[in-house]
């Protein structure tokens, strides 16, 4: 069977299209892999930051509780001193 110039051109075009599709698929796969690695990296860093934030919130809550206890103690001491001075002065 004899090939014509048109069928050879079609065959060459199909080979070129097939090569371009393969290259596009490889590029897309490489991009997807790179994007997945980047996303995982960001997720790891965000988890670390979220952990730090939770620890800071816990420390702040603990500090507020300590300040409330100290405020109560100082308030009671002031009341006792006031009562003692009132009784001694009277």
Please report the pLDDT score of residue 89 as a whole number.
Answer: 83
Q: What is the pLDDT of residues 54-83, one digit of tens each?
A: 999 988 899 999 999 999 999 999 999 999
Task: Tell me: pLDDT of 43 over 90.
Answer: yes
Q: What is the pLDDT of residues 10-42, one digit of tens each?
A: 999 999 999 999 999 999 999 999 999 999 999
Please report the pLDDT score of residue 3 as a whole number.
Answer: 56
Please report the pLDDT score of residue 70 as a whole number.
Answer: 92
Count CB neighbours of 25 within 10 A: 10
Full-model pTM: 0.49
Q: How far apart are the first and last CA of the chain?
A: 131
The structure tokens listed for 8 are 């050879």
């Amino acid at each position: 069977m004899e090939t014509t110039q048109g069928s050879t051109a079609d065959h060459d075009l199909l080979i070129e299209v097939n090569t371009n599709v393969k290259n596009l698929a490889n590029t897309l796969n490489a991009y997807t892999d790179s994007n997945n690695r980047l996303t995982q990296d960001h997720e790891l860093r965000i988890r670390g930051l979220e952990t730090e934030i939770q620890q800071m919130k816990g420390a702040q809550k603990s500090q507020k509780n300590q300040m409330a206890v100290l405020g109560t103690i100082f308030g009671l001491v002031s009341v006792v001193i006031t009562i003692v001075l009132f009784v001694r002065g009277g």
